[in-house]
Amino acid sequence: MKYRTYKNTDLRVSEVGFGLWTVSTGWWGQFTDGEAVELMRNAFDKGITLFDAADTYGDGRSEELISKAFEGCRDEIVVATKIGYLFEDDKERRGQRERAKDFGAVHLRKATENALRRLRTDRIDLMQLHNIEMETIASDETWDTMEALKREGKIRHYGMALGPAIGWLYEGRRCIERRGITSVQHIYNMLEQHPGAKIQSAADEHNRDTMFLIRVTHSSGMLEGHYTEDTTFPPTDHRSHRPKSWLINGLKKIETLRFLQSPERTLGQAALLWLLADARVASTLPNIYNREQLREFAMAPECPPLSEDEMARIATLAADNFGVDEPPSKYKGTME
């Protein structure tokens, strides 16, 4: 494993992190607490130190899993979590519908205290505002509260997470420009480069130290290279809600990227190396839900990096949508 430090901070993270979404929500299969803890400990043994949760993942379960997995070794890991959703008074299963959010001072303080309690810790290394929208970026109350929590030592650093779906171009760009935050978590991968590339360019354009935490690194598993036309997903798996065209078109794109595979690296490892070739990326959060996959992704930083020719070839393919003619993607948030 290799490590990176967020600019102008002491926040050092593993280049491959562990996102708790997969083991705490049921959207990637069902995990008992014991199974989840075992996988997280195995990740730690492979050098992964960044564990990314959210208070709404499993209605607090993801944070509780971190406290169970790393009791007695809190100083050896980096805890990232997210707040903003109103879930504690809304326990009803909502499918893919989004819950209400509140980024006012009262709720942010309450949510932070509850997260600290579930994590059984006295500080959160990276607190992220979960899927904020444009009005939140303009709210001085929100950001003054985050600064106050930082002064009080309850959080060490703060940032934002964009989502839930891909998009949110100007939410990301304006937050970087106007708030100068430590971290932005967003969707970005070889197959889905827009608007992620433009969000990341805002850090350079506005001379900000903001770095990026990348989720959906493998385009919902497509870039792992294991899907076929016959692949199906259980009804509880979020991928089962995607149209068949997503699978068929994705497979066509993947075939154009097979040149990245070699005896020294898998396609899944190449997908992470493509992200890590950008020095603005602090860490990656591949979806990890079994030991074999964990081993593959944790070893990625030690694999041969992508060459300049390979990077250029990927850029050329992406410019032509990997040779696939399909309807334009539908993005969320402010895109113009």
Domains and CATH numbers, the chain: 3-323 (3.20.20.100)
**How many whole angstroms separate alpha carbon 16 and alpha carbon 301?**
8
37-94 tens-digit pLDDT: 999 999 999 999 999 999 999 999 999 999 999 999 999 999 999 999 998 766 555 5
Q: Are 19 and 10 in contact (CB under 8 A)?
A: no
Q: What is the pLDDT of residue 87?
A: 82
In degrees rounded to 5, what are phi and psi of residue 27?
A: -85, -5
Regions of the chain short of the pLDDT cut 70: 89-96
Instruction: Return the pLDDT at 90.
Output: 61
> How high is the pLDDT of residue 241?
80
- State how far the Cα of 192 lies from the Cα of 329, in Å rounded to an integer: 9
Query: In the prediction, which pLDDT does 26 show?
Result: 84
At 104, list the tokens: 């006012």
The alpha-helical segments, DSSP class H, found in the chain are 21-24, 33-45, 61-69, 105-119, 134-137, 140-151, 169-179, 196-205, 244-255, 267-276, 291-298, 308-319
